[in-house]
A and B are shown apart, each in its own frame.
Chain A
Amino acid sequence: MTTNGWIQIALYCAVVLALVKPLGAYMTRVFTGERTFLSPVLAPIERGLYRVAGIDARQEQTWLAYAGGMIVFNLLGFVLLYAILRLQAALPYNPADQSAVAPDLAFNTATSFVTNTNWQSYGGETTLSYLSQMLGLTHQNFVSAASGIAVAVALIRGFARASTKTLGSFWVDMTRATLYVLLPVCIVFTLVLVSQGMPQTLGAYVDATTLEGAKQTIAVGPVASQVAIKMLGTNGGGFFNANAAHPFENPTALSNFLQMISIFVIGAALTNVFGRMVGDERQGWAILAAMGLLFVAGVAVTYWAEANATGVLSQLGLTGGNMEGKETRFGIAASALFAVITTAASCGAVNAMHDSFTALGGLIPLLNMQLGEVIIGGVGAGLYGMLIFVIVAIFVAGLMVGRTPEYLGKKIEAKEVKMAMLGILCLPLMMLGFTALATVVPAGLAGPANAGPHGFSEILYAYTSAAANNGSAFGGLTANTLFYNTTLAIGMLVGRFFVKIPVLAIAGSLAAKKTLPASAGTFPTHGGLFVGLLVGVVLIMGGLTFFPSLALGPIVEHFAGAAGQTFSTGG
């Protein structure tokens, strides 16, 4: 570990924190329908969109109608994306003459992008046409992110409102999230990325002749525009197969830093939106503090694990940490930081191969996802995921102050607990259930490249990544098969919608309740005690559920590695 490395990490945290307040204030204005500095330009467009779609922007929806709108919208998005992928050979903007995507891969890919997972069973530059990338994937990168933000905003309104049935309009929230938040930032960000040398072209792949005279095809394309939203919307689906490790997708140290910032910025700022909308910014900071603690601890462990050579590596005479699978351009600190950020935030973009991390270094990304992507998390999804944990934490601990537990003046009762547990349950069911299946059926066992605990980690990581809607791959797993494509897609669907729908049900139930004024008997939820409690609940709920699986994967690998033992392939 170096001072330089720590400075990079500290600088990163400082920049994210500095952006929380201004962006939070701006987004609060957007979602409360107030005028913003972009309104003169965007308001006419917004009104035009509503007119075309026949939406009355003042018409608010109940939680059921809101959820219905969200499901219909995502379903239609899925159908459109699936059709584009299947028909891409016949559609325009296909200079590399990519053929139609196979049914199971198209199903997996469409699900992946609609659920904001961006799990990639395909190799971008070898499978997809420009049209598929731009109209199909980039489009979903925007709207799947916006739909996550919308659900989070609806939940915030549930806390903020009292004695009402409505949560706002899904259509308006979607439109505003895309038009006022994602698009403007992406346009600026794309131009910055292009300035760093990232390609942005509709031209064909470039053929080059190397010095040795060999022919080489260099894939290019509309990279920068897709990378901007891939990061900002915590999508993570790379233009190239190598994702952010590819020199065209991450050309410089600055582009690397900015990409890391853009992964966290909206998720972090949403905690501020939460605080502002419930009328007490400190509530937002407390949630961010809990996320921040878990994040910094994760970064420290991963950085430490990667920077210190393992027993096996030092036996081989390697010193200076584990550089396998890392870009020398970024080094250990920036790679470890990126890995923790991308898994904490449900992004899934990678600038290093997580498969090559040390056992403990790889455990943290895995754990980040198993905790339910609540450390900043996916845009919107991180906040509502964390608020589910808040409900559980408040329910158990709140009883200890001798009152029916309440949070922000809302009583937490049977209905909220039921829905929160539903949201929490579906993740281990998908992650552990499918891993259990894949570790016994031949189609599953054919997947991992490594034997022993590491191969187990590869499978566990894949399902964890899918159900958590992260999309990062550990690598090493051959996932483009009928079995993996299908089961991973189911994991993604359940992990997305079986959390979102209970969240909206909670929002509806909360909005209908009265808001109780706080008193000395109310347990304060903006202090260190609450932050500590929340961190504890997240770790215990996540940790307890996944301890056996982690023990059989990275933990045993770590102890074995420390003892100098390896597991041979084909065992």
Chain B
Amino acid sequence: MSRQTSSLFSAALVGPALLGSIKKLDPRAMIRNPVMFVVEVVAALTTVLFIRDLATGGADLLFSGQIILWLWFTLIFANFAEALAEGRGKAQADSLRRTRTEMTAKRLTGQGRAFETVPGTSLKVGDVVLVEAGDLIPSDGEVIEGVASVNEAAITGESAPVIRESGGDRSAVTGGTQVLSDEIKVRITAAAGSTFVDRMIALVEGASRQKTPNEIALNILLAGLTLVFVFAVASIPSFASYAGGSIPVIVLVALFVTLIPTTIGALLSAIGIAGMDRLVRFNVLAMSGRAVEAAGDVDTLLLDKTGTITLGNRQATEFRPVRGVTEQDLADAAQLASLADETPEGRSIVVLAKEKYGIRARDMASLNATFVPFTAQSRMSGVDLQGTSIRKGAVDAVIASVSGQPVASRGSNVALAVRPEAETGVVGEIRAIAEEIAKAGGTPLAVAKDGRLLGVVYLKDIVKGGIRERFAELRQMGIRTVMITGDNPMTAAAIAAEAGVDDFLAQATPEDKLALIRKEQSQGKLVAMCGDGTNDAPALAQADVGVAMNTGTVAAREAGNMVDLDSDPTKLIEIVGIGKQLLMTRGALTTFSIANDVAKYFAIIPAMFLTLYPQLQALNVMHLASPQSAILSAIIFNALIIIALIPLALKGVAYRAVGAASLLRRNLLIYGLGGVLVPFAGIKAIDLAVSALHLA
């Protein structure tokens, strides 16, 4: 599913959508939408009356015929909006379906590599299959043995292969993806028909779409408003008879249909589908519309530090020598020690030494150097060359190696370690520098040459560019950000301050995460988080919006209510924006729809009652040409505005991260005041056209 940017009204989409909008006239489908169902009922009734009049020869047939035609157009336009929204999802579903072509599976029959070839559809949960290089993975499952590179372009659109291996957090594989190298044994976790791809297809097609809580509430409001206008219009015939006249049914129907909130009624389901679709285009799959809505309501975002707030790796930013050693010397030694160090930290030291001190990379072989790799026991790495040994590593480990003492116990952190005795001289100085660095949120790396301490390399967690501004935006939206990290509180506090998050949870365990979510929720707040590991699953399930990384485990993917195919935890912020946009679009179009009624009244009421009370011509503020053209123009406007607003419904109202008050002021101005004014101009323009064409 690649990120296509197809235009809204491309021919490939419009054709099937038009067909679909006719099919959707089926009353059994229409009844899901109370407002449009009512329109269909009155359209059908007036059509029957029209046919009767046609047979018996009634008056004003051209006028009634046009009104009825526009009533049906109103319905078709509403269906068109929905069909178009669904069509965009269908196109994506079709490309997904292609990956599900005839697949065979190599089901293991016992120990070893003995297997039988069976159709992919016959696999049951718990079966173990062998997947070799070039094979498609037959169904969703978990790697239980082996490592393989897998091409997941079929679902993520990303062609770079990813590694899938047994154990750990990268064990989930998805049916329909292809193993490129090596081979893995996969235990099947989803039966045919309920795999991840199946669910994706159902979701993007809207087949499993259910009304969300907010949609239900809005439908109640719209149904209520429709009823209000039933009363308002149904009482008119008796009022008219009191005034000594009568109003034709077709005119009453026209007034009724223009008054009830058809605009939002027509576009409501399209807005919902488009919201899901926006997420899909963003490579995020929401398992329900409810989850998208919840995203808009989120009060607290839990963000993992690594990968979300900071770049994945720490980088060297500074060389801090002890007295008597120049920065240049320290840089030189550190660079030598890191030349063969392929870790990102090691490489960053080489880069810094070159950038800051112009020390160029040297060839290990020509130096006749041997690399001493990092081990969990020594907690140091370095080089030995021509009788010189350089070591860099955890501060206490390096100090211990220099002073000949045994290495301090693992895990003690330099910043927190209690000093055994008052150290003097170089050791004391090194410790002081290290503590300072730790306090600032960095990681100190001591460097020693031939048993002499030279200084400390300052490794820093690099906060992602622009992230601070993002958090400021979130704060303006009223969302609190909490950074989750395994770091100690001091380091965490420093990074939290630099990144501008509102709070942090240091030395976090999965249990801590879960407890934090529960605490926030007990205050009535909605919490969003993302996670990938199996140990994240309880928290993902507890969170109101749990975004599982596609690279994550099966357990995590099952627990979350969204899956991010790109496995980019930063996306959580955009997901919230999309949720908000969905709700805003609904609110904006509802307001617009209701505000439209003012102008429609001024078009229809004077026209309608003109025969009873000519004085009401004074209310014809738009100076519409004739009563019939006024009514016709109003009903045409009512139908056309649906088409005009389809792009807005599908794209969503522009969202800016500003406070609620200014957002509301802006939207009220555009959709409230605009909703009052636009139809005056629109109806007048249509009236000019209608009278110029002599339609009424």
| A residues at B contact (CB < 8 Å) | 162, 392, 395-404, 409, 412-414, 417-418, 421-422, 424-425, 428-429, 432-433, 435-437, 439-440, 445, 452-453, 455-456, 513-517, 519-524, 527, 529, 533, 536, 540-541, 544-549, 551-552, 555-556, 559-560, 563, 565
Contact = CB atoms under 8 A, between A and B. Distances in A.
Contacts of A546: 232
A435 B239 contact: yes
Which secondary structure dominates chain A's binding surface? helix
A556 B595 contact: no
Interface string B471-495: 0000111111000000000000000
B665 A529 contact: yes
Nearest to A552: B239
Nearest to B597: A544
Given A517-B523, A524-B660, A524-B661, A439 B238 contact: yes
A549 B660 contact: no
Interface in B217-252: 217-218, 220-221, 223-225, 227-229, 231-243
Among B218, B224, B523, max chain A CB count under 10 A is at: B224
A192 to B, nearest CB: 44
Contacts of B233: 548
Contacts of A556: 609, 613, 615-616
Contacts of B664: 397, 400-401, 523, 529, 533
A544 B601 contact: yes
B607 to A, nearest CB: 11
A337 to B, nearest CB: 28
Sort A-B residue pairs by CB-CB distance and give the 10 closest, nearest first: A521-B478, A399-B587, A402-B580, A421-B224, A519-B478, A514-B524, A439-B242, A436-B235, A400-B587, A559-B615
Interface of B: 213-214, 216-218, 220-221, 223-225, 227-229, 231-243, 255, 259, 293, 296-297, 299, 475-480, 523-525, 579-581, 583-584, 586-588, 590-591, 594-595, 597-598, 601, 605, 609, 612-613, 615-616, 618-619, 655, 659-661, 663-665, 667-668, 671-672
Contacts of B668: 397, 400, 529, 533
B231 A545 contact: yes
B488 to A, nearest CB: 30
A565 B661 contact: no
Which secondary structure dominates chain B's binding surface? helix
A423 to B, nearest CB: 10
A436 B581 CA distance: 43
Contacts, number: 221
A24 to B, nearest CB: 26
8 contacts: A395-B217, A401-B663, A428-B231, A440-B242, A456-B242, A456-B243, A551-B616, A551-B619
B597 A404 contact: no
Contact of A399 (B237, B584, B605, B672): B584
A78 to B, nearest CB: 27
A414 B591 contact: no
A453 B613 contact: yes
A413 B236 CA distance: 33
Contact of B235 (A424, A435, A541): A435
A517 B583 CA distance: 20
B598 A544 contact: yes
A373 B627 CA distance: 35
Contact of A529 (B218, B297, B661): B661
Given A397-B664, A402-B655, A436-B237, 10 more contacts: A399-B583, A402-B579, A403-B296, A404-B297, A421-B227, A435-B239, A437-B238, A439-B238, A455-B242, A529-B665
B220 A400 contact: no
Contact of B477 (A404, A439, A521, A555): A521
Among A414, A433, A515, max chain B CB count under 10 A is at: A414
A196 B450 CA distance: 109
B224 A425 contact: yes
B639 to A, nearest CB: 20
A433 B587 CA distance: 31
B297 A403 contact: yes
A400 B588 contact: yes
B228 A396 contact: no
Nearest to A517: B523
Contacts of B525: 516-517
A412 B293 CA distance: 14
Nearest to B613: A556
B659 A520 contact: yes
Contact of B216 (A162, A414, A422, A455): A414
B235 A433 contact: yes
A544 B259 contact: yes
Contact of A540 (B239, B296, B594): B594
Contacts of A515: 524
Contacts of A565: 615
Contacts of A560: 613, 615
Contact of B221 (A396, A432, A452, A536): A396
Contact of A552 (B228, B613, B618): B613
B660 A536 contact: no
A127 to B, nearest CB: 30
A547 B608 CA distance: 13
A414 B479 contact: no
A519 B601 contact: no
Contact of A404 (B227, B293, B478): B293
A421 B478 contact: no
Contacts of A521: 299, 477-479, 659-660
A429 B231 contact: yes
Among B217, B479, B584, max chain A CB count under 10 A is at: B217
A549 B231 CA distance: 11
Given A540-B595, A551-B609, A453 B243 contact: yes
Contacts of A533: 664, 668
A555 B617 CA distance: 11
A520 B660 contact: yes
Contact of A417 (B220, B234, B616): B220
Contact of B616 (A439, A519, A555): A555
Given A425-B228, A551-B605, A565-B615, A413 B595 contact: no
Given A520-B475, A520-B478, A556-B615, A400 B671 contact: yes
